[in-house]
Amino acid sequence: MSESASVLGGRATYRHESGEVIETTPGTAAFFPEAWRGTCEVEETVRKIYTIR
């Protein structure tokens, strides 16, 4: 499954196992493909609209 997300509130840092870092804040759009593997550190409670397919 892949995920598309638009962040409405909060902050989080996603770290891919390859080292790529995605910082999310309100207004950020992010896409995580099916094979994405990594961790997420939530700094502030995140509110988002997302689609998983």
34: left (phi over 0), alpha (psi -120 to 50) or beta: alpha
Is residue 53 domain-resident? no
Is residue 52 domain-resident? no
Cβ atoms of 9 and 49 within 8 Å: the answer is no
What per-residue confidence (pLDDT) applies to 18?
97
* Nearest to 44, CA basis, from 29, 27, 31, 25: 25
Rounded to whole angstroms, the Cα distance separating 52 from 22 reads 18
pLDDT digits 0-9 by tens, 37-52: 999 999 999 999 999 9
Is residue 27 domain-resident? yes
Full-model pTM: 0.87
pLDDT digits 0-9 by tens, 5-35: 999 999 999 999 999 999 999 999 999 999 9
Instruction: Provide the number of structural domains found in the chain.
Output: 1
Is residue 15 domain-resident? yes
